[in-house]
Amino acid sequence: MRTFPAISLPRALLVATIVATFTAACGTATAQDFPPDVIKGKAVYERHCLACHGPGGWGDGPDAAALRVPPANFHRFQSFLKSDEELLRTIEHGVVFSPMHSWQGQLTETERQDALAYIRLLVQQGQ
């Protein structure tokens, strides 16, 4: 008969507890675990997006007039009916042949989500 290394029940429980605690401590929280922060989003927006998209998100920022491809007006149906995923993808990767470049290297995923939350708030306020 094969013998298994003797491990008592209390010791097995102790090991299980240590493993569980370790896993919980190391489990990195992803950005999606928290609701986006519109206050931080406002700061990101004002710093990086307002010049083109405008203070109210109407696509009328100070730099907009000089652009050949106009910045998106977030109040238009074609913009605000898009899903968060779709808009986040645009913020992440940019739009080809437009001044809307990728923000992947400049903003973290959380900052991009916060900025989008602020854009959604602007649209709500403008209704």
Q: According to the binding rule CB under 6 A, does residue 113 interact with ligand HEC?
A: no
Nearest to 102 by CA among 114, 112, 90, 120: 90
**Sole window of 5-13, 16-24, 25-33, 45-53 interacting with ligand HEC (rule: CB under 6 A):** 45-53
Q: According to the binding rule CB under 6 A, does residue 42 interact with ligand HEC?
A: no
**Sole window of 1-9, 16-24, 30-38, 82-90 interacting with ligand HEC (rule: CB under 6 A):** 82-90
Q: According to the binding rule CB under 6 A, does residue 103 interact with ligand HEC?
A: yes
User: Which residue, 12 or 69, has its beta carbon nearer to ligand HEC?
Assistant: 69
Nearest to 87 by CA among 112, 56, 60: 112
- d(CA 119, CA 41) in angstroms, rounded, equals 8
Total site size for ligand HEC, rule CB under 6 A: 24
DSSP label at 68?
A: S
DSSP label at 76?
A: S
Q: Looking only at residues 46 through 65 of this chain, which bind ligand HEC when binding is defined by CB under 6 A?
A: 48-49, 51-53, 63
Residues with Cβ within 8 Å of residue 116, at least 6 apart in sequence: 36, 41, 84, 87, 88, 91
Nearest to 31 by CA among 127, 125, 108: 108
- Residue ranges that bind ligand HEC, judged by CB under 6 A: 48-49, 51-53, 63, 67, 69-72, 78-79, 82, 87, 90-91, 95, 98-100, 103, 107, 115
